[in-house]
Every structure is written in structure tokens, then in C-alpha cells.
Amino acid sequence: MSLLFPKWMNVLPTVFAVGGLLGATTVVGGFWYYATPKFFKVGYMPTQPGSGFNHQLHAGKLGMDCRYCHTKVEESPEANIPSVATCFGCHAENKLAKFTESETHKTKTNFIREAYATDTSIEWRRVHKVADYVRNFPHHIHVNAGISCYSCHGQITAMPVVFQVQPLSMSWCLECHRAPEEHLVPRDKVTQLVWVEQHLKERQSGGANTEGQRLLQALGAEPPQNCGACHY
């Protein structure tokens, strides 16, 4: 049943509602845009609550490892978003004195202390989501195989606001499953996104990808291409 109604159709009511207000051209334009899977959600960047969370600042400039906050990426099929307590660990009143002297910093981070004080969670809006008719995407297996966050999420350390870089379409999954050696990096480097980006670019421009072939052999696993691996 669900296969008959691919995920992009979910947006049709919105497209038609907007079209009703703005005229027929929007309907045609909107339909063409959403019906072309290649463009679906690439660039999607929802507005986050409070003053948001800046990866460029925390993971880039301050150099925090992804696993400081996304603690489950190596263990769980679902990556996790950190709780307010993780933020509060640094953003409590008496911490970061050097920064909290600044009024702008105080104002920008107040939403964290408010959430902590009232024991409410910050409702971060989800950026990446595979279609519902796809089985639970096994996040940890990919990370443990030596696929960097960079290959699927882009250069997060340079993003003030996270947005979707890859289409998450079936052809995108399969493209890598057919040639994973293009993306494999040493296991201990998967969260070093700046290193990975440079390393993969050097490999691409360097002719034969012997490093990738070596890593694939060492992995000793073949990513599945049978329908049942990804669909119910």
C-alpha cells in the first residue's frame, strides 16, 4: 500500500493549498519541483527553536567531537539528539564566564537555561528522514563500517544551521552500496569531517583508489542490494 504512495505525495496537499492562494502557475511549478525526486528535500533547512544550535561554532571552531552530543551513533540504528542537560553542562549561569559577560551571548543562550529550569525539552526540528516504507535505517552499521558522517550529511563543521545535502533517495543508497570503496575511510576517522573531506577529494583525483579497495577488503562485507534489505 505505502509503495503506491511515495513520500513526495505527502506534500501535495500543501502544494495545492499554497497553489490555491497564489495561482495555477505555483501548482505546476510546485508539482514539477516536488515530483522530481532528485530535488526532494536537498537543501531542506527547518527553522530551529530558540537561537538554534550552531555546528560551525561548536563542532568547527570549538572542535567538539560529534559523539560528545550524538552519543549513540556507534551503537544504535537511530542517531540521537542531545538533551538540554548536555547543553546546560556548558551553558549554566556560572560557566563560560568569558562569554557570559557578553549580553548578546547571554540573550542567545537563555532559551537553554529556561528549558533546563522548567524541565522541558527543546523541540529540535528533524532535518533528515527516510521514507516510512523503508526499514529502519541502520545508522550504527554504516558508521562502524567506516562511512563518515561527511558522506551522508556533508561538511557539518561548516554549517551554522544544518541542512540536507544528500537526496536520501533509493538511487543514492544504491550508488554507494554498489561502490562503497569510494566512501570508506579508516574507522577512527569517521567523525573527523575536515580530514575526511580532504582525504576523499585527494583519493578521487589520484587515479586508482587502492586505499578504498584495501578498506573494502578489510571490511569483508558487501552492502546489500536486495529489495528485502531495505523494504518490508
Residues 96-155 that bind ligand HEC (CB under 6 A): 96, 99, 105, 108-109, 112, 124, 126-131, 134, 137-139, 141-143, 145, 147, 149, 151-153
Q: According to CB under 6 A, which residues from 10 to 49 bind ligand HEC?
A: 37, 40, 48
Task: Give how far Cα 214 sits from Cα of 132, 209, 217, Å.
Answer: 35, 9, 5
Provide the minimum distance between the beta carbon of 208 and ligand HEC in the complex, in angstroms, as a whole number: 20
At residue 206, φ and ψ (nearest 5 deg) are -100, 20
Site map for ligand HEC, 160-199, x if CB under 6 A? --x-----xxx-xxx-xx--x--x------xx-x------
Positive or negative torsion for Cα 125, 129, 131, 135: negative
The nearest distance, CB 7 to ligand HEC, in angstroms, is 5
What is the rounded distance in angstroms from the CA atom of residue 58 to the CA atom of residue 32? 38
Return the half-sphere exposure (C-beta side, CA atoms, 13 A cut-off) of residue 21: 5
131 close to 7: Cβ distance less than 8 angstroms: yes
Please give the grid coordinates belonging to residue 122: 527543546
CB of 84 to ligand HEC, least distance (A): 7
Q: Shortest distance, CB of residue 179 to ligand HEC, whole angstroms?
A: 9
We find the least distance from the C-beta atom of residue 29 to ligand HEC, in angstroms, to be 20
Choice from 58, 113, 187, 189 touching ligand HEC (CB under 6 A): 58
Contact 90, 77 (CB under 8 A): no
